[in-house]
Amino acid sequence: MRAVVQRVKHAGVCVDGETVAQIGPGLLVLLGIAEGDGRADMEYIADKCVNLRVFEDGQGVMNLSLKEAAGELLLVSQFTLYGDARRGRRPSYIKAARPGEASVLFEECAAVFKERYGRLKTGKFQAMMDVSLVNDGPVTILLDSKKEF
């Protein structure tokens, strides 16, 4: 499982011109699900995201977690995080979980995030989404449950 974690001032998701999720200050997490991902991957990513110390304390030092900063969290499925563009010009998505499996895993992962931190909103799985954000900092962190990077 992979995640692109962005500290945001605000973020939102629109589908067909309609807002389906919107948050204020917090984290936007773009989540890629691979074939074979399971509960341990979900727990690793969720724990990392809600406990990353990427929010500033009173001295301006990134010392606070999402929980401590009382921010919001927006989770958006993004299979293209498993795009492999090392060869040719068209990325291969062979490592990404198939839509049926990924849909179930995304819902399970959202439940794990909600267990860890209740202030969660999600995009719409397998929809063409317009994701907007104002990256705060900018702060962007890459996570991989298999620790490939």
- Give the residue numbers marked as catalytic: 80
CA 82 to chain centre: 13
Residue of 24, 29, 22 lying closest to 9 (CA atoms):
24
Per DSSP, the three-state class of 46 is helix
Q: Could you tell me where the DSSP H helices lie in the chain?
A: 39-51, 66-69, 99-116
